[in-house]
Amino acid sequence: MKFLCVSCDEAMKLIEAKPPDRGSLTVVYRCPKCAHEFAMLTNPYETQIVGSLGVQVGPEGDGAAKCPFPGVMQEMGASLDGSSAASPWTPEATERLANIPEFARPMAKAGIEKFAKDRGLAQIDVEVLEQAKNFFGM
């Protein structure tokens, strides 16, 4: 979608996208020529459809949770944002976590932490990830 300032015949530029409020995004555009501003306010259907493309609109994306199996997550005792008070992760292991999709990270994090805890490992590093990989036959 593009926006045109009719009086200037100039393409409007995106200035700001505010995080969704009850499913509605506020996206502010400005005409680079006359500086006229307007805001596009999406309804939840529009927000969801764009969010379903897996793209980010503005600073916070569509605001919808990425994990498609929140029920499973809760059963595993993991939080949906992946935070936990369990074994600390080294920076290298945390970096490697970015190699799997966002939706799978909280579950992987919880599972690997359980794997480490069961073996009395105090810290999760790349070596623990390799052990888990071998343990699960990958």
Binding site for another protein (CB under 8 A): 1-4, 6, 9, 11-15, 17, 20, 22-23, 27, 29, 43-45, 47-57, 62-65, 67-72, 93, 96-104, 107-108, 111-112, 129, 132-133, 136-138
Give the nearest distance from C-beta 120 to another protein in angstroms.
20
What's the 3-state SS for 14-63?
A: EEEEEEEECCEEEEEEECCCCCCEEEEECCHHHHHHHHCCCCCCCCCCCC
- C-alpha torsion angle, residues 92, 97, 100, 102 (rounded to 10): -140
Give the nearest distance from C-beta 57 to another protein in angstroms.
6
Report d(CA 107, CA 80) in Å as an integer: 9
Give the nearest distance from C-beta 113 to another protein in angstroms.
11
Residue matched to tokens 């897996």: 54
Q: Which is nearer to another protein, 87 or 112 (CB)?
A: 112
Q: Which is nearer to another protein, 98 or 122 (CB)?
A: 98
Report d(CA 82, CA 58) in Å as an integer: 23
Give the nearest distance from C-beta 116 to another protein in angstroms.
12
CB-based contacts of 109: which residues, under 8 Å, 6+ apart?
78, 82, 84, 89, 97
Give the nearest distance from C-beta 22 to another protein in angstroms.
8
Q: Which is nearer to another protein, 18 or 96 (CB)?
A: 96
Q: Which is nearer to another protein, 45 or 120 (CB)?
A: 45
